Amino acid sequence: MQKLKKLQKEDKVAILSPSSAAPGMWPHVYQLGLSRLRDVFGLEPIEFPTTTQVNASTKDRARDLIAAFEDQSIKAVITSIGGDDQVTYVKNLPPEPFAQNPKPFFGFSDNTHLANFLWLHDIPSYYGGALFTQFAMQGKMDEYTVRYLQYALFEEGVKELKPSTEFNDIGLNWNDPETLNQRRTYEPNEGWHWDGEQSTEGVTWGGCLESIDDMLRHGIQLPLLEQFENIVLITETSEEIPPNDYVFRIYRALGERGILERIKGVVMGRPKAWKFDKPLSPENRNNYRRQQRDTILKVVRQYNKQIPIIQNFDFGHTDPQIPMPYGFMVTIDSKNRKIFTQF
């Protein structure tokens, strides 16, 4: 993997919408995210033509991605939010503008496709840190999120990842600007769920499980089987709250393709279990998370008895959030129940 340059205060960062153009739908949330970039991190956000353009064509979004990477004054690329259509065009991006101009890329959910594309061309990225969901957090940014964003943006070296003390699963309505001043409801975090005594290390790859499903269905290029022998698989599920039989089928597909038997470990993000049209009760949310953990453990162990499996991790569709290093070396110390990764 190529080495990414760290940022300095007052550096310019591109704000792009490679999937959905949330800035065009909720401009007040967008402005809050921009102000946090300036005030909390001292960075200068730069808007591109399709950043706020709802229903922009894939051709135009691809153009902005290429322009942001080729622009030498832009030191990082931060996505506004996810979506559901990158599978239709990321595969057609020319690799040269990205491979010749590596820079930190932040995004998750549908941006799994871009993260995979960059990984395949030896460019690591950060799975997380979207403008709307982390920088524009209502009330104030989570200190836990800020700490790990600081690592990703400005600091070099190996850092220990630690579980958050609390987490949020219940959103506030962006349609009401008054919610920008409110703090979301948080609940105590029970920590990581760990299975396996083997310590290991490897390069991270993975992303949103629904996007990985898209890759499998549409024949998108993945790492080679030989490369999976050095990979720690990081996955998580989205706000769609997929049923556990779906999660089972995707993981079984990874097993039947020879991936699970080769990987060095699994790190699974805390599954989101609430959204506006699925306001599950606390009991049902806990049951959903527990059932997903049991499902992951069951299917992985059918293909690999030894590797460590760590679940309820603070990345993906959860807050606070680690912008999970993607394509970086991670060390899993099962004896001491600790995880370290390069930033």
pLDDT given for residue 34 in this prediction: 98
Cα distance between residue 69 and residue 77, in whole Å: 8
Residues 81, 172, single domain; the answer is: no
Instruction: Find out whether 16 and 79 touch, Cβ atoms under 8 Å.
Output: yes
pLDDT given for residue 8 in this prediction: 98
Contacts of 46 (CB under 8 A, 6+ apart): 12, 13, 14, 15, 74
Residues 227, 283, single domain; the answer is: yes
Whichever domain contains 65, its CATH number is: 3.40.50.10740
94 belongs to a structural domain = yes
- Which is nearest to 240 in space by CA: 292, 163, 294? 292
pLDDT given for residue 106 in this prediction: 99
> pLDDT by residue (tens digit) across 169-182?
999 999 999 999 99
pLDDT given for residue 163 in this prediction: 98
> pLDDT by residue (tens digit) across 97-127?
999 999 999 999 999 999 999 999 999 999 9
| Structural domain range at position 46 | 12-136
232 belongs to a structural domain = yes
Angle at 97 between CA 94 and CA 100, to 5 degrees: 125
Residues 197, 265, single domain; the answer is: yes
Q: Where residue 332 falls among pLDDT bands split at 50, 70, 90? A: very high
Among 84, 102, 136, give the residue marking a domain's end.
Answer: 136
143 belongs to a structural domain = no
Cα distance between residue 340 and residue 343, in whole Å: 10
149 belongs to a structural domain = no
330 belongs to a structural domain = yes
- Mean of per-residue pLDDT scores for the chain: 98
> pLDDT by residue (tens digit) across 26-55?
999 999 999 999 999 999 999 999 999 999
User: Tokens representing 128?
Assistant: 């997380």
Residues 179, 304, single domain; the answer is: yes
Instruction: Please give the single-letter amino acid code of residue 220.
Output: I
Q: Where residue 215 falls among pLDDT bands split at 50, 70, 90? A: very high
Residues 123, 174, single domain; the answer is: no
Cα distance between residue 210 and residue 251, in whole Å: 11
Structural domains in the chain (count): 2
Instruction: Please give the single-letter amino acid code of residue 104.
Output: P
Residues 243, 279, single domain; the answer is: yes
Residues 75, 178, single domain; the answer is: no
4 belongs to a structural domain = no
Other C-beta atoms lying within 10 Å of the C-beta of residue 10 = 10
Residues 101, 167, single domain; the answer is: no
153 belongs to a structural domain = no
Instruction: Find out whether 211 and 240 touch, Cβ atoms under 8 Å.
Output: no
Per-residue pLDDT, averaged over 92-100, amounts to 98
Contacts of 163 (CB under 8 A, 6+ apart): 189, 191, 192, 312, 313, 314
Whichever domain contains 334, its CATH number is: 3.50.30.60
pLDDT given for residue 156 in this prediction: 95
Residues 130, 206, single domain; the answer is: no
Give this prediction's pTM: 0.98
Residues 123, 173, single domain; the answer is: no
Owner of token pair 């706000």: 239
DSSP string, 99-168: HTS---EEE-GGGHHHHHHHHHTT--EEE---IIIIIT-SSS--HHHHHHHHHHHH--SEEEE---SEEE
Residues 127, 204, single domain; the answer is: no
> pLDDT by residue (tens digit) across 148-206?
999 999 999 999 999 999 999 999 999 999 999 999 999 999 999 999 999 999 999 99
145 belongs to a structural domain = no
Residues in the chain: 343
Residues 317, 229, single domain; the answer is: yes
pLDDT given for residue 69 in this prediction: 98
Contacts of 303 (CB under 8 A, 6+ apart): 255, 260, 261
User: Could you tell me what percent of the chain has a pLDDT over 90?
Assistant: 100
